[in-house]
A and B are shown apart, each in its own frame.
Chain A
Amino acid sequence: MWARAVWLAFRSGLGGCQAFSTKANFQGSGPITVEVIEHLERLALVDFGSREAVARLEKAIAFADRLRAVDTDGVEPMESVLEDRCLYLRSDKVAEGNCAEELLQNSHQVVEEYFVAPPGNISLPTLGEQERTLPTQLSSYSGKGVSCEHMKAQ
């Protein structure tokens, strides 16, 4: 959570949905907006965490933009170097399995033969929502709300 708190500090300095790029010579489809950052964080379920990380992404994009100089008219995309061969498919017979116990051992939270997950269908709060709810959210991590804590693996 601390990462989000730091993030909010950045935003409060900028004010509103300002474009995040500060490089004057940034070439590409456009500067990285806060919307793109949020979108990427939701898709990847990994956060940037710092301004440096955003700068690194900008550099990565600028680096990738060099591809524009290559003439690829009439060239088909290559997905695999083995595209001229047929993928091997084995016959549909059960060859191995029955290892539920072994697989369950690697998980932190299981109940009988189930992996235990927290409730789904709850979106990650956006940065805007976080701003409003930050104080209460911190307290909710102390155990309030739905918790599967009691369902520990035996």
Chain B
Amino acid sequence: MLGRTLREVSVALKQGQITPTELCRKCLSVIQKTKFLNAYITVSYEVALKQAEESEKRYKKGQSLGELDGIPVAVKDNFSTAGIETTCASNMLKGYIPPFNATVVQKLLDQGAVLMGKTNLDEFAMGSGSTDGAFGPVKNPWSYSKQYREQRRLRSPGERRGADEDWLIAGGSSGGSAAAVAAATCFAALGSDTGGSTRNPAAHCGLVGFKPSYGLVSRYGLIPLVNSMDVPGILTRCVDDAAAVLGVLAGHDPKDSTTVQDPVKPFVLPSLTDVSKLCVGIPKEYLVPELSSEVRSLWSKAAGLFESAGAKVIDVSLPHTSYSIVCYHVLCTSEVASNMARFDGLEYGHRCDINESTEAMYAATRREGFNDVVRGRILSGNFFLLKENYENYFIKAQKVRRLIANDFVNVFNSGVDVVLTPTTLSEAVPFLEFIKEDNRTRSAQDDIFTQAANMAGVPAVSVPAGLSPQGLPIGLQFIAPAFGDQKLLTVAKWFEKQIQFPVTQLQELTEDCPSGFENDNSASVFLKQC
């Protein structure tokens, strides 16, 4: 049951095959057993059970609210949740309990979704590995998959697999949300996407990671990183689920004036059978030397798939691609410098003990509350915003941003419907390898394919495209014109159907936990009946 998709479970709930409280308890039990993944910062046991009970009452009366009624979901810990601690994985907000719900959270709750808890992330969503939070790193559930461990054993046969040393990163910064969905603790999770933070972990965890168009989904309650690029992201196991969640979340919010006022209706994705009228663009600048051969071959296979199905597949050019990561770096740090200024210890969050002066108090509070990554970005941002640097860095970056956005407009105006690119340079790497480079370097490397979509505000989705020879998931990304979310997801759904990425693999994950690493027979009592 837990390995099924959101819509399948919704049908099961309607038909009475399982009740919301049973489902909730099962998910809570899996959360307990997969604690070692460190996917959750806060698990909201009582709230979840209460919501599940209310959902059950509604189902008994035949008055369910919709597809999401009774469905366990998780929310990244940078979304405000009333009465539930919201930390952004930072010491600055440890113990902070917001008095309100983010709009997207409220919309999920209004549809009867059951909130399992708040998931782990990089501190303030800055990072691409979910390794730099105050509550520790997130482990990729695929590190414990039978296939991956089998491969490790084959390659180093004499090695005594004692300690859990070779675990893989989950990707970031929404790694906790991705791990939560991949480990079958919930059926959908909210992430945030500023430079690829939803798509990157989705690719590493074998999930669908969807970034809506900027302005489609409300950011009210999402603790902001970069106001002009942030969007709430959706992580699910299949494209139909993502569309179902989008249908609930999209729409104008009077509390977020950057949401567009166009009317939005929930939609059911059509099942494309004929792609002969589709034109897929392959941007040549994305073929970089650092791209791993496994990803490259899957990318090429995918293009071939569309072509043999009758679609038109052409090379396109996004000429400013090589500068987009630099531009992103400048704009991101500049907006961060501004957004982080609100954390001064006075009205909420951590406060130090110094009381000599406001400035001294603010400085000490911020030193204690922020980690090196956040502080580094604030200082870089302030540098770029200095009077003498403003024109050369910040304004220059804004100009380059227009060039990048225009690149996409030009490509889509030339008849291309979607652009197909890799999501990440390679499959998930081991944590010990990941931390050899610092956060900024890693982000610059890992965001390379994903952040251009944030700069242009266009929708993008990462879909699992296959497994690497090591048995790890690799995702491919589709990008569509602004507000072309429905078309994007339709194409992604067609692709997903051709690939048939094994959902059943997830069952193996939950049956195989590292409670005793000495030998594999100790895959102990672990959720035999799912």
Contacts and interface: CB of A to CB of B under 8 A. Distances in A.
Does A associate with B in a complex? yes
Interface string A89-113: 1100000000100110111110000
Given A40-B383, A59-B440, A72-B400, A103 B329 contact: no
A148 B400 CA distance: 49
Interface in B224-246: 228
A56 interface: yes
Contacts of A103: 99, 347
B395 interface: yes
Main secondary structure of the interface of B (DSSP, over half): helix
8 contacts: A45-B366, A63-B326, A67-B393, A75-B402, A77-B402, A78-B398, A78-B401, A117-B358
B361 interface: yes
B402 A78 contact: yes
A75 to B, nearest CB: 4
B35 interface: no
Given A40-B379, A60-B380, A47 B367 contact: yes
Interface stretch (A7-15, A17-25, A119-127): A119-127
Between B257, B359, B378, B386, the greatest number of chain A beta carbons within 10 A of the residue's beta carbon is seen for B359
B363 interface: yes
Nearest to A148: B355
B372 interface: yes
Between B259, B347, B356, B444, the greatest number of chain A beta carbons within 10 A of the residue's beta carbon is seen for B356
A45 B363 contact: yes
B416 to A, nearest CB: 19
Nearest to A75: B399
B380 A70 contact: no
B124 interface: no
A65 B362 CA distance: 31
Interface residues of B, number: 71
B376 interface: yes
B449 to A, nearest CB: 18
Contacts of B257: 87-90
Contact of A48 (B326, B330, B351, B379): B379
B260 A118 contact: no
Contacts of A56: 376, 438, 440
A136 interface: no
A30 B7 CA distance: 58
A46 B378 contact: yes
Nearest to A108: B351
A88 B259 contact: yes
Interface in B382-404: 382-384, 386, 388-389, 392-393, 395-403
A122 to B, nearest CB: 4
B333 interface: yes
Contacts of A67: 323, 326-327, 330, 393, 396-397, 400
Contacts of A146: 355-356
Nearest to A118: B355
Interface in B338-368: 344-349, 351, 354-363, 366-367
B364 to A, nearest CB: 8
B207 interface: no
B58 interface: no
A34 interface: no
B399 A29 contact: no
Contacts of B320: 70
A121 B359 CA distance: 8
8 interchain residue pairs of minimum CB distance: A81-B457, A77-B398, A122-B357, A78-B402, A72-B399, A106-B348, A102-B99, A108-B351
Given A63-B329, A67-B327, A82-B260, A118 B351 contact: no
B375 A53 contact: yes
Given A63-B329, A140-B356, A70 B403 contact: yes
Interface residues of A, number: 64
Contact of A120 (B99, B357, B376): B357
B254 interface: yes
B215 interface: yes
A66 B398 contact: no
Given A60-B380, A109-B351, A118 B375 contact: no
Main secondary structure of the interface of A (DSSP, over half): loop
Between A64, A66, A109, the greatest number of chain B beta carbons within 10 A of the residue's beta carbon is seen for A64
B197 to A, nearest CB: 18
B193 to A, nearest CB: 14
Contact of B383 (A57, A68, A85): A57
Contacts of B254: 88, 90
Given A81-B482, A82-B457, A87-B258, A76 B356 contact: no
Nearest to B376: A56
A29 B356 contact: no
Nearest to A120: B358
A115 interface: yes
B319 to A, nearest CB: 10
B311 interface: no
B48 to A, nearest CB: 23
B440 A64 contact: no
A118 B329 contact: no
Contacts of A33: none
Contacts of B99: 99, 102-103, 105-106
B314 interface: no
B363 A145 contact: no
Given A3-B367, A81-B457, A109-B351, A57 B379 contact: yes
Contacts of B382: 40, 43-44
B347 A118 contact: no
Nearest to B403: A75
A48 B444 CA distance: 21
Contact of A124 (B259, B363, B384): B363
Contacts of A87: 257-258
A88 B327 CA distance: 28
B303 interface: no
Contacts of A119: 357-358
Contacts of B438: 56
B214 interface: yes
A117 B400 CA distance: 42
Contacts of A39: 386
